[in-house]
Amino acid sequence: MSALPEYRLFAGGTDLMVRKGRGLLPLGAIINLLTVAEMQGIVESDGSLDLGALATHAAIAAHPGVQQAAGALAQASSQVGSPQIRNMGTLAGNMCNASPAADTATPLLALEAMVVAAMMGRPARERHIPIREFFRGPGETCLEPGEVVVRVRIPLASSTLGTGSSFIKLARRRSLAIAVINGAAWIALAGSAAPCIAEARIALGAVAPTPIRLPAVEDWLRGRPVTKAVFAEAGRRALACINPINDIRATADYRRDVAAVLVERLLTQAALDANFCFEDEAPVSPGCVSPAQAHGVATK
């Protein structure tokens, strides 16, 4: 390893090849990860969902276990790039490229994923990194030289709680567009007569140097009733947590304006995904809203 100068770990290649083509990548050596068996596949085990680092976006989006237990991630994976990019690009590649706008980053944050990394050549020494500690800056992660993401573990909520998740991407086009802003939410409801928010997690992308969680808003939401007014106030409070910039995709002011709306919609859709019925709305179908319908709303 150390004998190789300027090496790059190479998985789907969809980011590295573009930078190579533009002459931005001093490619001394590449290490092709695609053939590493231990990094493939999606496995459901007791209490968690293990996604191989090399699982493609297409495979994740189509996986029934992911759709059911981690809807926000399935939706985000189905909106990365284009069908071709989703057939090539990998989950760990999207994470390790560490774009502040990476589509899979916000669902992983909202679902509190655990990143499992190993030192190349010493696979027995695995390190478990909470996703909140993984992103350090644009293009920068907490991985050490020689360290590689092996898989990503998503904890599954206990079935006694009503839980749901959501993902929304706002971009200038429907395909092949980097997000102007994106986000994911996860919600756990408690109490059947008058449900309140037991726990809420909100993550936003393209509003700070890394994808971020909004702990101040999450703390404020705990114990509050599930109403649209509460979610709208959460959206307003989100503005204190973000620090967007002007770039070619949007202005900072525009991102601030839509961030409030995005947070409100994310929470609403996560609640719908948790089978919550808002009183001022007629149920869309028996048992309120099916995940498919909630997802249909999410993509608009």
Partner 1 sequence: MTVNAVCLHKRTAPCKRPGTCGESVHIALTVNGHAVETDIPVDLTLLDFLRENLGLTGTKRGCGEGDCGACTVLVDGQGVTSCVMLAVQACGRDVFTVEGLAQGGRLHPIQEAFLEVGAVQCGFCTPGMLLMAKQLLDANPNPTRKEIVAQLAGNLCRCTGYTKIVDAVDLAARKMRVLS
Q: Which is nearer to partner 1, 25 or 232 (CB)?
A: 25
Applying CB under 8 A, among 87, 227, 275, 293 the residue interacting with partner 1 is 87
Locate 235 and state its tokens: 């959206």
Interacting span for partner 1 (CB under 8 A) from 27-35, 41-49, 133-141, 161-169: 27-35
Interacting span for partner 1 (CB under 8 A) from 25-33, 90-98, 209-217, 246-254: 25-33
Q: 136 to 155, contacts with partner 1 by CB under 8 A?
A: 150
The minimum distance between CB 91 and partner 1, in angstroms, equals 16
Phi, psi of 267 (to 5 degrees): -65, -40
Q: Does 27 bind partner 1 (CB under 8 A)?
A: yes
Contact 242, 208 (CB under 8 A): yes
Q: Does 292 bind partner 1 (CB under 8 A)?
A: no
Q: Does 88 bind partner 1 (CB under 8 A)?
A: yes
DSSP string, 5-18: TTEEEESS-TTHHH
CA distance 181 to 103: 9
Q: Which is nearer to partner 1, 81 or 244 (CB)?
A: 81
For residue 60, give the H/E element and its range. Answer: helix 57-62
- Three-state DSSP at 163 gives strand
Buried b / exposed e over 17-49, threshold 16 CB at 10 Å, is eeeeeeeebeeeebeebeebeebbebebeeeeb
Contact 217, 202 (CB under 8 A): yes
The minimum distance between CB 204 and partner 1, in angstroms, equals 25
CA angle 210, 211, 212 (to 5 degrees): 105
Q: Given the structure tokens 């981690």, which residue do they identify?
A: 70
Q: Does 161 bind partner 1 (CB under 8 A)?
A: no
Interacting span for partner 1 (CB under 8 A) from 82-90, 95-103, 162-170, 237-245: 82-90
Q: Does 245 bind partner 1 (CB under 8 A)?
A: no
Q: Does 34 bind partner 1 (CB under 8 A)?
A: yes
Q: Does 2 bind partner 1 (CB under 8 A)?
A: no
Chain contacts with partner 1 (rule: CB under 8 A): 4-5, 7, 10, 13-14, 17-18, 20-22, 27-36, 38-39, 58, 81-85, 87-88, 118, 120-121, 123, 150, 174-176
